[in-house]
Amino acid sequence: MKKRYIAAAFALLISSGCKEDDQASPRTFLIPEGYTGWVKIEYDSTVKASTSQNEGEVLKADSKGLIKTRGSNIHEGWAESDYFYVNEKGEKKKLNPDQMIHGNSSGRESNERTEQYFFIGTKEEFQKNQYKPEHP
């Protein structure tokens, strides 16, 4: 009988650690075709977003690699994101994140908006520009 209680308690402990709260919505990043360099995402609920409400989690970078979105919580869990180059006709080419996406980081300075950065380019290009995310 004691073994059953221990087994039940153990099962309850394990199942309580498996919750859905750590699930995030995947994001799709649309990058202008041929762009290489740092992409900066500004999360701020007061800006006019470059994302469309109809598109959900589709984030479009401008020609300088800047994305503005109303979202404020970027640390909502784990999800796989998709990255695409998009040409002027709207045609997409999927980027391999293992080869073309590097240096993903995020944070907030004091009361400023939350920002996220990642680098689009080859590993060699990233190593030349490492730790230098710059935007006007």
Nearest CA among 71, 58, 73 for reference residue 27: 58
| Domain residue extents for the chain | 24-129
Q: If you average pLDDT over residues 63-78, what whole number do you get? A: 74
Judge whether 51 and 120 are in contact, CB under 8 Å: no
Gyration radius (Cα) of the chain, Å? 19
pLDDT digits (tens, 9 = 90+) for 119-134: 999 999 998 887 666 6
d(C-alpha 14, C-alpha 10), whole Å: 6
Stated pTM of the model = 0.70
pLDDT digits (tens, 9 = 90+) for 21-56: 445 567 899 999 999 999 998 887 565 555 544 444
